[in-house]
Amino acid sequence: MNAAVSDALKIEEYRIQDEPYYEPLGDEVAVFEAAWRNQLPVLLKGPTGCGKTRFMEYMSWRLDRPMITVSCHDDLTASDLVGRYLVKGGETVWVDGPLTRAVRAGSLCYLDEIVEARKDTTVVIHPLCDDRRLLPIDKLGEVVPAPPEFSLTVSYNPGYQSVLKDMKQSTRQRFVALEFGYPPAELEARVVMKESGVDQAVADRLVQIGHMTRNLKDNGLDEGASTRLLVNAGKLMRTSVPEASACHSAIAEALTDDPDMLAAIRELIASVY
């Protein structure tokens, strides 16, 4: 089996076969599709656990393109994205990074929480995000053109960013931006029911608690309870954990370690139950 065939088979592992459950909040599906067809990169903005990753999984399925996801962090280097030389079997060989593999295969590439990566790392995506659509690989002396099917999407959470961790204008103005938030109560309850398996009444109570904690943002909490946390609590309840206990473990303790804030959230939970 030659290297090209092997790489193609590996990329197919990233293809999503079954339709992921996703509830649109607005016209984000149509905008993303239009951006993809026009070869425009996309920036997803929104709080933790509001559905950005699920949206990308849905779009990967909808567009029938594999998706390679990279969770960005402080130690992420340009070589981690593009590739590096490694020693294998006594030989030094080049190994493509996830961004290079995505470009060569014409797949979707999703860089989650892009601002967590080092500033010098994010510069590598600039030539991919304008009319050039090129990925320079300096160590190989190669420039890889992105095929029409390739799409780059990045995400970040504006609520957590500081001056030291914000997206530079030279980067963000290369993207079409989509803003995500938590869904309206009725829709969020439907998501919680679908994802956790609880009934309508339980989902409504969880959503009520979620909205209460979000009112504490900037009053002791960096973020309120995400939809993801509400789903986690619902899953605990579905497997016989008492509702209040599930909320304490999946919501209160997951949000904060501060004793005063924990006490405040426990009071919110008690007011519902």
Mean pLDDT is lowest, of 63-72, 160-169, 185-194, for: 160-169
Q: What is the per-residue pLDDT for 2?
A: 44
- Stretch 199-223: mean pLDDT: 93
What's the CA gap between 204 and 237, in Å, rounded?
14
Confidence of residue 166 (pLDDT cuts 50, 70, 90): confident
What's the CA gap between 154 and 172, in Å, rounded?
10
Confidence of residue 165 (pLDDT cuts 50, 70, 90): low
> Strand pairing partners for 22?
none
What's the CA gap between 17 and 155, in Å, rounded?
23
| Close Cβ partners of 106 (under 8 Å, ≥ 6 residues apart) | 65, 146, 147, 148, 149, 150
Q: Where are the beta strands (DSSP E) in 138-216?
A: 142-145, 151-156, 176-179
User: What Å distances lie between residue 213 and 227, 247, 259, 268, CA to CA?
Assistant: 12, 12, 15, 8
DSSP category for residue 32? H
Mean pLDDT is lowest, of 36-45, 114-123, 178-187, 238-247, for: 114-123
Q: What is the per-residue pLDDT for 6?
A: 52
> Is the pLDDT confidence value at 152 over 60?
yes
Q: Which residue has the higher pLDDT, 3 or 166?
A: 166
> Is the pLDDT confidence value at 7 over 80?
no
**Residue 43 neighbours by CB distance under 10 Å:** 22
Mean pLDDT is lowest, of 42-51, 114-123, 132-141, for: 114-123
pTM, entire model: 0.89
What's the CA gap between 246 and 128, in Å, rounded?
45
**Are 185 and 74 contacting, i.e. CB atoms less than 8 angstroms apart?**
no
